[in-house]
Amino acid sequence: MSDRDKRVVLRLSRRDLDGFGAALAAATGTFVDLPMLLAASETREALVLTVVETGVDEAVAPEAGRDGLTVGRVRIVPADAGAGFAGALEDWQRTVATRTADTSCMVLVGLGQAADAPVEVAAVHGAGGSAAAVERVIIERTPQVRLWREGHPPALPELPPERVARFTSSFGVEAWQRLRRACAVVIGAGGTGSVAIPILARAGVGRIVIVDTDEISASNLERTHASFPEHVAAPTKKAVLARDHVRQIDPDIDVVAIDGRLPQWAVVEAIAEADVLLGCTDQHTSRLALSDVARRFLVPAIDCGGLIEGANGHVTGQIIQLVLFRPDDPCPRCRGMINDVRVAQELMSPQERARLLAQSAGGSVPPEAADIPQIDTVGYITTVSGTLAAGYAIGWLTGRFDPPFERMQMNLVADCLDVTNRPQRIDPACGCRHARGLGDAGQVFAPFVPPAHWPPARTV
């Protein structure tokens, strides 16, 4: 597919949107023009543009060494919903006609904001003296975006089926319509992922991408929803099992299963167009990559998990943890969630481990060559964790509610569940703070590179 045939997707963060509103409130005229620094990432089917910074000096070229960055413009108008933005759009289109001939200006955005109304957006991508409409605009945790194309508002959304009547009674018809337009990517289809995925499907999420490389084993049957002994007898990929489960729930959902891992590019490019990302694995490497991709591509993410603690034959803790990784949140290293020995173990090939063990024969075994410890958990804990993560993702996708925490921990056997929030700050010494919005141009800040021994990611 040539570059001209690729759809153009524009991503902004909630912080960028709030900044636009503040600029408009401080303006003395009828609109505000702001330059933006953007990063361009190319997938097989799309050119994904992410906003790195707004209010930059347009006369200054993108910073040296940061390939893929360019300068665009946003025009913010005090538009009321509907006719107000339509009128402002006419003047904005005249600006587009004059500026897209300048190849240094890659993106022009017209954005209308009014109180208690959807965000109105029109966007054009200019290259080589020609202009093309941006096909999708994604604003982090802001699902009520109305994208105008060629001066026309979006088409009316479909009406929901009877099977979601209870959902629409609680959340409203518009909430279901937002879900139908949304894309969720779930990393891990085991204990937590296998329950989060069908909850998203039953609520009506229109596109679900499932990522996992493992097969169902006998020990998974206690935790993995929709798994049965026949899936062990005839080896079945967890991603395939979850995909088929979604198709049974709703054949109209666009569901994709990827046999792969983060941060392989086939997985990252799916995330680049997602509205929300769920981390449902117990791997430290996956958690590092989840946070990194969420920050670089401005995708809000929820990481979930659970474990059992005990001593002397007694269960002392049944812990569920949910962590938010939004573009401006601290990464797992900032939060003290990463064990470097565990990271080394997860990235090591069986051959590398065998060599280390052979070299240490008769002596102490290097910690990274030891077996990876299994996290003790059971099905009802992973089910609760995955259910909560899916529920908060639905809150983001519908715009109905936000998670009331940053890092929540809950003990199911403590008084009143002992729910605790642990807000944390970005470590000034951590490189994650530089990666925000850089997309593929921020690869230098990625916590690790997929090892050569990992099989290539593939759609199954």
- pLDDT tens-digit readout, 67-110: 678 888 888 887 654 456 777 777 777 777 776 555 555 788 88
Q: Using DSSP bridges, classify how beta strands 69-77 and 46-54 pair: parallel, antiparallel or unpaired.
A: unpaired
206 and 175 Cβ atoms separated by less than 8 Å: no
- pLDDT tens-digit readout, 394-411: 999 999 999 999 999 999
Q: How far apart are CA 279 and CA 261, in angstroms?
A: 11
Q: Which two tokens stand for residue 430?
A: 């951590």
CATH for 243 = 3.40.50.720
Q: Is the same domain home to 343 and 258?
A: yes
Supply the range of the domain harboring residue 374: 163-459
Q: Is the same domain home to 319 and 226?
A: yes
- Assess whether pLDDT exceeds 50 at residue 64: no
- Assess whether pLDDT exceeds 60 at residue 200: yes
To 5 degrees, how large is the angle CA 108–CA 114–CA 119?
Answer: 50
- Assess whether pLDDT exceeds 70 at residue 157: yes
Q: How far apart are CA 284 and CA 261, in angstroms?
A: 12
pLDDT higher at 29 or 443: 443
Q: What percent of the chain has pLDDT over 70?
A: 93
155 domain residue, yes or no: no
Q: Is the same domain home to 123 and 172?
A: no
Q: What's the total number of domains in the chain?
A: 2
* Nearest one of 99, 78, 110, 456 to 267, comparing CA atoms: 456
Q: Is the same domain home to 219 and 89?
A: no
Q: Is the same domain home to 329 and 372?
A: yes
Q: Is the same domain home to 269 and 129?
A: no
Q: How far apart are CA 120 and CA 82, in angstroms?
A: 8
251 domain residue, yes or no: yes
- pLDDT tens-digit readout, 296-344: 999 999 999 999 988 778 888 999 999 999 999 999 999 999 999 999 9
Q: What pLDDT, on the 0 to 100 scale, is given for residue 81? A: 44
Lowest mean pLDDT, pick from 190-194, 282-286, 313-317, 361-365: 361-365
Give every CB contact of residue 160 below 8 A, 6+ residues apart in sequence: 167, 168, 173, 176, 177, 180, 204
Which of 89, 123, 148 terminates a domain? The answer is 148
Q: How far apart are CA 344 and CA 433, in angstroms?
A: 23
142 domain residue, yes or no: yes
283 domain residue, yes or no: yes
Q: Is the same domain home to 332 and 405?
A: yes
Which of 94, 121, 148 terminates a domain? The answer is 148
- Assess whether pLDDT exceeds 60 at residue 47: yes
Q: What pLDDT, on the 0 to 100 scale, is given for residue 102? A: 56
Q: Is the same domain home to 196 and 110?
A: no
Q: Is the same domain home to 237 and 303?
A: yes
Q: What pLDDT, on the 0 to 100 scale, is given for residue 77? A: 83
Give every CB contact of residue 440 below 8 A, 6+ residues apart in sequence: 39, 40, 41, 42, 68, 268, 296
Q: What pLDDT, on the 0 to 100 scale, is given for residue 87? A: 73
309 domain residue, yes or no: yes
Which of 95, 115, 148 terminates a domain? The answer is 148
- The upper half-sphere exposure of residue 107, i.e. CA atoms within 13 Å in the direction of its Cβ, equals 32
Q: What pLDDT, on the 0 to 100 scale, is given for residue 65? A: 40
Q: How confident is the model at residue 383 (pLDDT cuts 50, 70, 90)?
A: very high
Query: pTM for the full model?
Result: 0.94
Lowest mean pLDDT, pick from 18-22, 45-49, 221-225, 408-412: 18-22
Q: Using DSSP bridges, classify how beta strands 105-112 and 119-127 pair: parallel, antiparallel or unpaired.
A: antiparallel
Q: Which two tokens stand for residue 294?
A: 């969420």
CATH for 62 = 3.40.140
- Mean pLDDT, the chain, whole residue set: 90
Q: Is the same domain home to 370 and 254?
A: yes
Q: What percent of the chain has pLDDT over 90?
A: 68
353 domain residue, yes or no: yes
Q: Where in 404-446 does DSSP place strands (E)?
A: 407-411, 420-421
156 domain residue, yes or no: no
Q: Is the same domain home to 223 and 258?
A: yes
350 domain residue, yes or no: yes
* Nearest one of 37, 135, 28 to 439, comparing CA atoms: 37
- Assess whether pLDDT exceeds 90 at residue 452: yes
| Residues paired with residue 301 on neighbouring β-strands, in sequence order | 277, 325
How big is the chain by its Cα radius of gyration, in Å?
23
Phi, psi of 67 (to 5 degrees): -60, 150
Mean per-residue pLDDT, 345-358: 93
- pLDDT tens-digit readout, 108-135: 888 888 777 888 899 988 766 677 889 9
Q: What pLDDT, on the 0 to 100 scale, is given for residue 31? A: 81
Q: Is the same domain home to 332 and 423?
A: yes
Q: What share of the chain is helix, strand, coil (3-state, %, to 5)?
A: 35, 25, 40
To 5 degrees, how large is the angle CA 12–CA 14–CA 20?
Answer: 80
Q: How confident is the model at residue 275 (pLDDT cuts 50, 70, 90)?
A: very high
Q: How far apart are CA 383 and CA 305, in angstroms?
A: 10
